[in-house]
Amino acid sequence: MRAVRFHGKEDVRVDEVEEPVCGVGQIKIRPAFVGICGSDLHEYLHGPFAVPTTPHKVTSDQLPTTLGHEFSGTVEEVGEEVTGFKVGDKVAVNPSLSDGTCGSCQMGRYNSCYSIGFIGYSSKAGGLSDHIVLDKKHVVLLPDSMPLDIGALVEPLSVAWHAVNRSPVKKGDTALIVGAGPIGLAILQVLKAQGIERILVVEVSKERLKFAHEFGATKVLNPNEVDTLAEIREFTGDVRGVAVSFECTGVQAGMDTAIGGTRVRGTTVTVSLWGKPPVINAMALVHGERHIAGAAVYEPEDFQAVIDAISSGKITPRPMITSKIPMQDVVDRGIKALICEKESHVKILVDISA
C-alpha cells in the first residue's frame, strides 16, 4: 500500500509499505481525508521535532514514520473484542499517544504525558496511507450525516475547543485572538459556538484577516497598519483590555500583544508550539494581576464536543477547506503550498481516494 513517510528534513516520500493486519482490540480504517498541519511543515523545514529519531517510548518506532494525524475514514475491519463499531462506519481519529504511567498520566492529564507522541508522527501508522490499524481507544465515531472531509477537521477543532476550555471566558466577555492561522480561526469558531459575541483578531496577513472577518470576527486589526493595543483599549472602553486572549503566532510580538491586550486580571492562553521561548513581561503580569495558561492538544471529551457542535450547526467549518489534493501531490501542492502560499490557505486536505 502507499504511505507518505517522513525520512528527514525536506525528505517526505510516497513509499510502498506492507499493509497492516487488524488484531485483537483493533480497528482497520481506510483513511478518506487528511489535513496538513503546521507541525508537519515544521518537521519538513527544520527536521525531526515531534518525529522520533530514536525508538519512541510509547510506540518503539523511529524514522521513517508515516505522516497524517488530522484525518477521517471508514471502518474496513473490526478486530476481536471490539464493540460499538461496524464495517462502513464513519470515524475520526484521536492521534494522541501517552505512556499511561508517568506523573501527568496518573493525574489523568494524558495530553501532557511526559512521553507524549502522536499517530502520524511517532509511529509507522499514520493517516496518509491507504490503510491504518489502530487500537479502539483512538477511534471516534462520526454521525452518518457528517461528510468525511468535515470529519478531518475534528482534530484541529478539538485543539481549539481545548484551548477555549482552558480559559475562563464566559458569555458577555470580549476575547482577543492573536494570529489567524488554522488554529486561530478554529478558536474563533469555537468561541462563537460557545456564545462569545465580541471577538477581536490581530493578524499581519491581509488574506487571513479576510478569513477572520468571514468567520465572524467583530473587528480585525493589522499591526502593520494600526496601533493594535490602542485599538483594543478603545474598543473595550474603561476596562482597557479583553477578558481573555489567545496567542496563536509563536512569535514574541504575538505574545506581547496577547498579554498587553488583556485587562486587569485577564487571562492569556498560549496555544503555539514555540521554537524559541518568548520573553514574558513579568511587570505586566504583576501590575495587572494577569494570568497566563498553556493549552496542550486536547482531551478525549473535546472530540465529542466538537462533533456535537458541528452536528448542531454551531460550528460550520467547511470554509476552512481551501484545497483538496491527491496523495502523490502532498509535497508540491500540499506542504510547499502551505509554506509558500500560506496566506491563501487555511486547511489543505489530502484526498486518499484521488
Query: How far is 93 from 72, CA to CA, in rounded Å?
Result: 6
83: amino acid identity, one letter: T
Location of C-alpha cell 500500500 = 1
CA 66 to chain centroid, in Å, comes to 18
Residue 128 per-residue DSSP state: S
Domain with CATH 3.90.180.10 in the chain: 2-153+317-351
- Cα 321 to Cα 18, 57, 138, 168, distances in angstroms: 31, 34, 24, 30
Q: Is the peptide bond before 278 cis (omega within 30 degrees of 0)?
A: no
Strand partners, 317: none
C-alpha cell at 15: 513509499
What does the pLDDT read at residue 50?
62
Question: Helix or strand or coil: residue 55?
Answer: coil
236: amino acid identity, one letter: T
Query: How far is 259 from 273, CA to CA, in rounded Å?
Result: 17
CA 185 to chain centroid, in Å, comes to 11
Q: Is the dihedral of CA 230, 232, 235, 240 positive or negative?
A: negative
What does the pLDDT read at residue 273?
87
What does the pLDDT read at residue 48?
82
Query: How far is 116 from 128, CA to CA, in rounded Å?
Result: 20
Location of C-alpha cell 482497520 = 28
DSSP 289-349: T-EEEE--S--HHHHHHHHHHHHTTS---GGGEEEEEEGGGIIIIIIHHHHHSGGG-SEEE
Contact 56, 169 (CB under 8 A): no
- The fold adopted by the segment(s) 160-294 is Rossmann fold (3.40.50)
Q: Which helix (H) or strand (E) holds 270?
A: strand 262-270
DSSP 222-234: -TTTS-HHHHHHH
Query: How far is 169 from 194, CA to CA, in rounded Å?
Result: 9
Query: How far is 48 from 307, CA to CA, in rounded Å?
Result: 32
**Phi-psi map region of 33: left, alpha, beta (phi>0 left; psi -120 to 50 alpha):** beta
Query: How far is 64 from 71, CA to CA, in rounded Å?
Result: 20
pTM (2 d.p.): 0.96
Query: How far is 17 from 254, CA to CA, in rounded Å?
Result: 42
What does the pLDDT read at residue 54?
85
Q: Are strands 242-247 and 262-270 parallel, antiparallel or unpaired?
A: parallel
Contact 72, 142 (CB under 8 A): yes
Query: How far is 262 from 169, CA to CA, in rounded Å?
Result: 12
Domain with CATH 3.40.50.720 in the chain: 160-294
Q: How many CA atoms lie within 13 A of 95 on its CB side?
A: 30
Cβ contacts of 205 within 8 Å, gap of 6 or more: 180, 342, 343
Could you read off the pLDDT of 267-326 as tens digits, one per residue? 999 999 888 899 999 999 999 999 999 999 999 999 999 999 999 999 999 999 999 999
Which residue ranges in the chain fall short of pLDDT 70?
50-51
- The fold adopted by the segment(s) 2-153+317-351 is Quinone Oxidoreductase; Chain A, domain 1 (3.90.180)
Query: How far is 212 from 170, CA to CA, in rounded Å?
Result: 21
